[in-house]
Structure 1
Amino acid sequence: MRASGFLSLFISLLTISLHAQTNKEEVLFTIDDEPVYTSEFLRVYNKNLDLVQDESQKNIDAYLELFVNYKLKLKEAHVLGFDKKRNYIRELSNYKKQLAKSFMREPEVTDALVEEAYQRISFDINANHILVKLEETANPQDTLLAYNKINSIRNRALNEGFEKVRQDVHNGQTIYGEKLGYFSGFKMVYNFETAAFNTKVGDISEPFRTRFGYHIVNVIDKRPSRGERTVAHIMLQTKSDNKENLEVKINEIYQKLNQGEDFGALAKQFSEDKSTSKNGGKLSPIVGGQLRSQKFEDVAFGLQNVGDYSKPFKSEYGWHIIKLYNKKPVPEFQTIKAELTQKVERDDRSKLIDAALISKLKVKYNITEKPDLSYFVSILNDSYFNKNWFLPPSFVGKKDLVVIGNRTLSYKNFGNYLVRSQQNVSAKIPFKTIVDNAYNNFLNENILRYHENNLEFENEDFANIVSEYRDGLLLFDLMENTIWNSSLNDTVGIKNYYDKNKSNYFSEEKIDAIVASSSSKKILKQVSKFLKKGSEEAEIKSMVNTENAINILFTSGELRKPHQALPETIEFKEGVSPIYKHNDNYVVVKINKVIPSKQLTLVEAKGLVTSDYQEQKEHNWIKALHNKYQVKINKEALKKVETQLNNN
C-alpha cells in the first residue's frame, strides 16, 4: 500500500474542524460552487505548521495546493458513495465509542487519582497477604461468615505473628496465604493497592474486600522505586543465516572490554542494533516494564554503579553486553502525567471516575428520585436463581419508569434488563436487593449511554474530533480503493512503467570481504601481512589473540556502503586495503571480490516499481479531479490570508 504524499497531508489535515460556516465568512475557494472558508484554511495551516516536515509545504501557495487537493478527494469520495458503505459506517461508530471514553470522565476526580497513582509508582511495597475467598455475588450470610473468618485470622496474626499464621491457614482452596514480593502502583487491583499503601511498614491492615474476597495485608518494606536507567548495549543478533559463533564473538568483545577498550567504540564496530550502534550503543532512558525483554530489563536494573557493564548474556533477540550510564529516580510528574491518566482510566480506578460522572449527569438530566420498584419485587420468584425466570404474561410494560434527557425508559425496558441480569446472580439473595442492584446498574448504564450518544451535541471538542476522523477515514478508504489496491493488481501498468524507467532500478555495488578491527595499529599491520599471504580468520586469530587478550576481531560477508564496519572512504577494489582509522579503532579490509551494480529485473525491483507507479498514478488522478470539478480561488481572500500569515 502506498501512502505517498497523501499520508503527510492526511496527518496534517486530520485535525481539521469542519463546522458549518456562516455566510458572513469570506470564501477562500469553491469546488463546484461549494465554499471553503478562509477561517478553516487559517486554522488548519496554523495548527499543523509544526507537523509539516517538507519545508516547501510551509509555503502558503504550496500548502493551499495540498489543501485544495485534499478537498477534491473528499468531494470525489462523497460522489462515489464511500460514506454510505457499511464498513466505513461501522468503523466510524467504533471510533466514536472509543473516543467517547476519554470525554466521559470527571477531570477533578481523574486528576486526583492520577496524582495518587504517581505517588504510588514512586515506591515499591514488599508485602504478604491472607485471602478468604468470597464470590462477588455472595449472599449476606456467606459474606458475614467470610468477614468474621478474616477478622479472626487477623486477631491470631496480631498475637502469633503474621508469617506463622499465613503458613498455618493457607489451604490453596478457600484461604490463601501468599508472599507477594515487591510491587508498585497498578500491579494489584486498586482496593488491594490502596490497603497496602495505607498500611505502615510492619503493620497488619484491617480486613478489606476486593472482587476475590476478604484480605489482610502485612507490609514488610517500602522503598523508593528503582526509577529510570540510561544504558548502552552491544548486541549480536540471532539470525538464521548467521554462520558465526555468536557466543564466542560476544565473549571476545567482553574480553576486550576487560582489557580496557572503550565500550562505545566496540559498540560502533560490532553491535548489530542498527538504531543504536552509531551512538555507541546508547538507548533512550528506560523504566521498569517498558522493555519487551524481561531478561534485558533485569540485567539493566541489576547494574548498580554508573560505568559498570554486565557479563555477556542471551535474550530472545540475541547476545548482549550492557553498560550503565545514568540512574534517575521516577520521572517528574508532568513528564508521565498523560501516560498515568491512560492507566487510571483503564484501571479499577475508572469506577470512581464513572461514579463521579454519573452523579454529575443525574443533576444535569434532573434525575432526583428513585421510582417505586415494589411491582418488580412482586413479580420475581425462585426461578430467577435457576436462571429460567421470565416476565409474566400480565406484565405491565408500557408504564414510564424514568426520564433521561429527552428519552423515556419504560417498565418494559427495565423488565427486559431484569431478565438478562438473572445470569449474573449466583446465590440466593432477597428479591428487593436484586431489584435495587439491577435498577442502579440499569440507570447508570443508560445515563452513560445517553450521554455518549449525545456527546456530539453537548461537547464541541468531541464533535470536532469525530468530524476530523470521519473525513480522514473516508479519504483513506478512497485512496485504498482508487490508487493503492488497483495499482497492486495492475500488472500490465506496472510492467509498462518499469520498461519506461529501467534506468532508475539498479542494485548497489557491494563486496565479499573480511574486515579486521583492532585498537592497536601495530597489531593490525601484522594482520594486514597475514591477509596478503592468504591466511584464514581462524589462523590469524590463533597467532594474534591469546587466552588473556583479544587483540583482533573480524567481520565478514557481503557488505555494501554504508556499513558500520567499513570506512566511508574505502575504495571497492580487490586486495588488502590500507589501514584506516574508523569508529575509534583501526581497520583493514581484504576484498575478495567486488560485486558490481547491475540492472534489476522487474521481479527484483517489484516493491520500488510498484511504489513509484502508485505515486505517478495518484498524480494523474489528482489532475483528473481538477478537470472533473471546477475550482475557483478567491484571489483577494488569498492575499488577505498571505498578509495575515506573513505578519504572524
Structure 2
Amino acid sequence: MNFKYFYLYILVVAFSCSPKTTMKSEDNMSNAPVSLMTIGNEEVYADEFLHIISKNRSFLEKEGTISKADFEENFDLFVNFKLKVKEAENRGLHQTEEFDREFSMFKEDLIKPYLIKNSLQEGELMKAYNRMQEIVKASHILLQFPTNATREDTIAVYRMAQKLKNQADEGEDFNELAFVHSEDPSAKENKGNLGYFTALQMVHQFEDATYGLKIGEVSDPILTDYGYHIIRLEDRKPNPGEIRVSHILIRSQSSDPVTEERILRKVSEIYQELQKPESVWEEVCAQYSEDQGTRNTGGLLPFIGIGSVIPEFERVAFSLNEIGEISPPAKTPYGYHIIRLEEKRPLPPFEEMEALIKSKILRDSRSSLIQSQVASIQKARYQFSENETLVDSLETLFDKNSRNEAIEKVNNAQLNDRIIFSAGGVDRTVQDLLDYMLTSGQIVRVGNKNLLTAWYEKYVENMLNQAEENDLASNNKEYQLTLKEYRDGIMLFTLMNENVWQKALEDSLGQVDFYEKHKDRYQWKERTEAIIVKMTKDEFTPSVRRFLSDKKYQDNLVNRLENTFLNDNPLAFTIDKDVFEMESHPILSRAIANKAFQEVKANNAIYFVLLGNKLPPGNKKFEETRGKVIQDFQEYLDQSLLDTLKSNYTVRINEEEKNRVYELVTKK
C-alpha cells in the first residue's frame, strides 16, 4: 500500500487501539437522531464514533470491558479528530482536484463489498470451491451447428441430440454412440470419455450439468458455444488434491516400428536401472532424460491437480501412492515417461484459492452470467422501465444508417427529449444516450450486435450501477460511515501534512528554535568511549582474545585489528566504535564499568569490550538529536493546532448520549 494511504488509514483508526472492548451493534440504540456532540454548527452522531472505535477490534470477546479511563481517552481523540476534519472542510480541502481524484479511487474500492455483483461473485466462488472437493468422470457426445446455421438447423441438431439421449436411456452403449455420432475430434480415440475433471475446467454449462447428474445418468441436451452435448456421468469421488512428481522423458514421435522398438527397449533398461538399490534417481535423470528443462533438477515438475495435465500422464502419476514410488514407463504424445512421486498435499483452503478461482471465473462465461443476474436484480430493485417501441425505432435508424447519419435523423425527428428508460427514479432521455456515446470514452464491443444495441446495453448497465451506488449512499448506514471515514481521512491527511508533518520536516529554523527552547529534553547521561568486537566465526575467537587481552582503548586500535584479521577473513567479526551510554546499551550494560578489557557473552555470541574515557552528562548537540527534535516539534505543532481549533470552534458534548454510548460499549 502507498505510504500516504497507509498513514491515512492509521490516522483514522489510531484512537481505537487501546484495550479491547465489547459492544453491541449501534442498531440497538434509539432510532431518534440525537447528536453526541456539536462542533461549531455541525452535529456529530454516536454511530460515527462507534464505527471508528470498532476498527481493528474484537468486540465479540466475552472477557474484559473497556475501562472508563480508556473510553474517555478514545472519546477525546475522537473529538480532536472531528475538530481537525471541521477545520479541513472550512479550508476547502475537500474541493480540490487532488481530493476528488483520491476520493474517487477510494470509493471505487470501498463500494465493492456492498454491491450486488460482489455477493453473486462470492456465491460463485464458494460454489466452485465446494465442487472442487470432488472430481467427476464423464463421457459426452457433441453435436455441432453447421456454418451460418438457421433456426431450422438449430432445431434439427437439438432433435438429433434428444434422439441420442433417448437411445442411451433405452440401454444402447453410450460410448459406442459417441464413437459413431460425436463431432468431438477426440471421440474416435476415447469414445467420448473425458476422464476426470473438477470445477472450472469445463465451460460452466457443461460443468453445471455434469455435477447435477447421478452416476450412470444421462443428461438432456446441454447447449454451449460448441453445440449440443449429451453427458453421461461415469464416476465421482473425493478430490485427491495435488501431487508433485519428477519424471524421466524419452521422446518418441516416430512412426517407424523399428525406431519405436529401440526407444521402448531403452526406456525399459532405464527402468531396470532404477530398480537397483545403488541407483540414484537424479543421476539417472541427468544422464538419460530428454526433458532439457528438468533433467538437471532431478526431473522435478510443478504441483499438478486432476485435469491439469494430459490424461495419459495424469492417470499414471495419480496412481502412485508412496513418496518415492516409481512408475513403469508410461506412453504419452510426447514419448515415454518414468514418473516418481515426490509430494502430496490436499486441496488448499478456500482463502488460499480464492484469488485463483476468482480470476478463472472472471475469464470464462460465468462472468457474463453474473452480469446478467446483476442486471436482473438491479432492474427489479430500482423499478427499471423501458420504452421498448422507442428503442426499436432507434435500433432501426442505426441499423440502416451510419452513426452520424442516424444521430442527424434522431435530431430531425425530435426524439432527443423522449424518455428511453427510467431507473432509480431518474428518467434517461435519448439525448442522454447520445451524449454517453459521444463523450463517455467507453470502449464498447459491438460484435454481432446493432451499434445502438451495444451502446444502449452499456449505458443501461452504467446507469443501473449508478442507481445502486446512489441507493447505497442514501440507505446503507455501514457504507455511509465507511465512505465518510475515508473522506474525512483524506482531508485530515492533507491538513496534518501541511501544518504538522511536512512543516516540521522542512522548517529547519523552527527545529533549531524548538531545540534551543527545550535543551533540557536532550541530555546525555554519563557516557564511555568503547570498542565492541562481536565474534561471528568461533574459530577466530582465541586469536582475537590473545590480541586484545593486553590492549587498552586507542583510536588506532580498530585499524590494527582489521589489518591483522579481516584482510584474510573479512567475516571473522564486526566492530562498533563510539561513545555510548553504558546503562542503556544492550552489551555495555552487562560490562564492568572500570575494567579496561573484558569479555561479555550475550545473545549466544561472544563480545570483546575495551573501555576508554568517561564523559560526564551534558547537552546533546542539535545534530546528535535532530530526529528526536523533529518528532517532538511535530507533536508541538499538532498540539498547537489543536489548541487553536479548540479556541476557534465551540464543542458541546451531550453528556446523556455520551453516557449511553459508554454503557453500550461496556455491555456484555
1:84 alignment partner in structure 2: 95
Pairing 1:159–2:188 present: yes
What residue number does 2:397 align with? Answer: 379
Counterpart contact for 2:88–2:94, Cα < 8 Å: yes
Q: Deviations over 1:310-351 (max 9, x none)?
A: xxxxxxxxxxxxxx99976522x5x67987897689665444
How many residue pairs are counted as aligned between the two chains?
491
For 1:341-380, what aligned pairs fall within 5 Å after superposition?
A: 349-367=366-384, 371-372=388-389, 373-380=391-398
Structure with greater Cα Rg: 2
Distance 1:622 1:596 in 2: 46
Which shows bigger deviation, 63-72 or 370-379?
A: 370-379
1:118 CA displacement? 1.6
Specify whether residues 29 and 534 from structure 1 end up closer, same or farther in structure 2 by C-alpha distance, changes over 3 A only.
same
Output the CA distance in 2 between the equivalents of 1:337 and 1:140: 40
Question: Are residue 532 (structure 1) and residue 545 (structure 2) matched?
Answer: yes
Residues 592 and 22 from structure 1, CA distance in 2 versus in 1: closer, same or farther, beyond 3 angstroms?
A: closer
Taking structure 2 as the reference length, the TM-score comes to: 0.54
Measure the CA separation in 1 of the matches of 2:132 and 2:588: 47
Q: Is residue 2:535 matched to residue 1:514?
A: yes
Query: Contact between 2:241 and 2:347, CA under 8 Å: does it hold in 1?
Result: yes
| Partner residue, 2:512 | 495
What secondary structure is seen at the aligned counterpart in 1 of 2:608?
strand
8 Å CA contact retained: 2:537, 2:571: yes
User: Offset at 1:100?
Assistant: 3.0
Question: Match of 1:611?
Answer: 631
Partners of 2:375 and 2:207 in 1: CA distance: 25
For the structure 1 residues 378 and 597, does the alpha-carbon distance in structure 2 shift closer, same or farther, using more than 3 Å as the test? farther
TM-score by length of 1: 0.55
Q: Name the amino acid aligned to 2:396.
A: S
- Tell me what 1:69 maps to: 80
Would you say the 8 A contact 1:509–1:597 is kept in 2?
no
After superposition, what is the alpha-carbon deviation per residue over 1:30-78, rounded to whole angstroms, capped at 9, x for unaligned? 4346544566656655677659xx9889622222221221222122122
Letter in 1 for 2:423: I
How far 1:643 sits from its partner (Å)? 6.0
Report the 3-state secondary structure (helix = DSSP H, G, I; strand = E; otherwise coil) of the residue aligned with 1:397: coil
1:453-510 CA deviation, whole Å, 9 max, x = no partner? 3432243332232222222222222212221222222111122334534437999987
Separation in structure 1 between the aligned mates of residue 239 and residue 441 of structure 2, nearest angstrom: 45
In 1, Cα distance between the equivalents of 2:574 and 2:191?
63
5 Å-filtered alignment, 1:315-330, equals: 329-330=347-348
Query: Are 1:59 and 2:70 matched, yes or no?
Result: yes
Distance 1:443 1:634, change over 3 A: closer
Q: Residues 569 and 42 (structure 1 numbering): CA distance in 2 closer, same or farther, change over 3 Å?
A: same
Q: Distance in 1 between matches of 2:8 and 2:117?
A: 40
SS across alignment from 1:353: helix
Instruction: Determine the C-alpha separation between the residues in 1 that align with 2:399 and 2:491.
Output: 52
After superposition, residues 135-534 of structure 1 pair within 5 angstroms as: 154-160=183-189, 224=239, 329-331=347-349, 349-367=366-384, 371-372=388-389, 373-380=391-398, 384=402, 391-393=407-409, 394-395=412-413, 396-415=415-434, 433-499=450-516, 500=519, 501-503=521-523, 511-516=532-537, 528-534=541-547
Deviations 1:107-157 (A, max 9, x none): 774453122232356579999xxxxxxxxxx9879xx99xx9xx9995432
Which residue is 2:125 aligned to? 114
Q: Distance in 2 between matches of 1:476 and 1:571?
A: 46
Which amino acid counterpart does residue 453 of structure 1 have in structure 2? Answer: N
Say which SS state the counterpart of residue 83 (structure 1) adopts: coil
Q: Residue 627 in 1 paired to residue 647 in 2?
A: yes
Partner AA of 1:118 in structure 2: Y
Unaligned runs of 5+ in 1: 128-137, 164-181, 230-286, 289-303, 307-323, 518-525, 541-552
Amino acid at match of 2:417: K
Conservation of the 8 A alpha-carbon contact between 2:40 and 2:650: yes
* Corresponding residue of 1:97: 108
Amino acid aligned to 1:406: G
Runs of 5+ in structure 2 lacking a partner? 18-22, 60-64, 139-146, 158-177, 245-302, 305-320, 324-341, 549-560, 581-585
